[in-house]
Structure 1
Amino acid sequence: MSRQYIDCREFPSTMHCSVAISADTPKELLEAAVQHATTVHGHQDSPELRQQLTQMFKPGTPPVTLPSTKAA
């Protein structure tokens, strides 16, 4: 299985979270992402949250910096 990640920097928030989490298995990544979402962002653990997080997984590892999304 290839490494996967989820990156909070891709989702703007008032707290400007810079956490990126990666793991070798989807199960491990989901558990870490749920823990982060509930403890840091105050979300409730639910099947809906888990489904949303799983849909945000990307293959590989997170980039060191995200490309700028602002127009020049």
Structure 2
Amino acid sequence: MTRKYIDCREIPSDSHCTVAIAADSDDELLEAAVQHASAVHGHEDTPEFRSQLRQAFKQGTPPVEAPQAA
């Protein structure tokens, strides 16, 4: 099983969020990412939003240094 992550630092935003979340399973990562995005960023938990989050998953662990924003 390969560790995966999602990193808010890669997404331009007014809040300049620095949270990165990693997990060993896609389902666990998705649930944590949805909770964060809903609670902190006000996103609505919809099937479409979950699909967008899954597409942003990357292999490995988040880098220490902030990645370049897209």
Calculate the TM-score normalised by the size of structure 1: 0.91
Greater relative contact order: 1 or 2 (C-alpha under 8 angstroms, separation 6 or more)? 2
Calculate the aligned-residue CA RMSD, in Å: 1.1
Query: 1: distance between equivalents of 2:28 and 2:40?
Result: 18
**Which residue of the partner structure matches residue 5 of structure 2?**
5
Q: Note the C-alpha offset of 1:9.
A: 0.1
| Runs of at least 5 residues in structure 1 that lack an aligned partner in the other structure | none
Q: Percent identity?
A: 67
Structure 2 SS opposite 1:40: helix
Counterparts of 1:1-72 in structure 2 under 5 Å? Answer: 1-68=1-68
Aligned residues: 69
Structure 1 SS opposite 2:66: coil
Calculate the TM-score normalised by the size of structure 2: 0.94
Q: Note the C-alpha offset of 1:67.
A: 4.4
Select the structure of larger CA radius of gyration. Answer: 1
